[in-house]
Amino acid sequence: MNIKAIALASVIGLSVPAIADISLNSHSASAMPTDFVRPTGAFMDNSENWVVWLKLDEFGNYTYEALSRRTGGSLTLKNASITRNNKRYTYTFRNGSHKYIIAHRPKDPSIIRLTVVNPQGDVILNHLMQKVGNDWDV
């Protein structure tokens, strides 16, 4: 029995699961799309009733969080579908049958348009929002 061969096979056999885990991990930062720039930070409408926070984590997860400053109601959504044309990117978050659509022009990073569409296809909210910061203390 060749002890060196058994030891080498054991080491290789133990390292294969670790290598597979690293290469197949869906949370690796290299999986994040790099062909577009998503707006991030805190955005507020002119009435200052609505605040929207858009966050992008190190794994490429994009999150929409909104707060009604008037009622205190809040909403958190994830997993936006992304579309684009020559001038703008559109990020559509879903809450049941409602769509929360963020339209963004990379040439104007401090402005987004928030459109909310109900299940019947009616626009129930359409606001331009200005970036007011990068953190939660808005």
* Extents of the domains making up the chain: 38-133
> In whole numbers, what is the pLDDT of the chain averaged over residues?
81
Say what the pLDDT of residue 51 is: 94
CA atoms of 45 and 69, how far apart (whole Å):
11
- State the residue for tokens 């978050």: 93
What band does 57 get if pLDDT is binned at 50, 70 and 90?
confident
3-class DSSP state of 66: strand
What band does 28 get if pLDDT is binned at 50, 70 and 90?
very low
Domain 38-133 classification at class level: mainly beta
- Asked if residue 129 has pLDDT above 50, the reply is yes
What band does 138 get if pLDDT is binned at 50, 70 and 90?
low
What amino acid is encoded at 96 in this protein? G
pLDDT tens column, 63-118: 999 999 999 999 999 999 999 988 899 999 999 999 999 999 988 989 999 999 99
Say what the pLDDT of residue 12 is: 52
pTM: 0.71
- The answer to whether 9 and 1 are in contact (CB under 8 A) is no
CA atoms of 120 and 97, how far apart (whole Å):
9
- State the residue for tokens 């459109």: 115
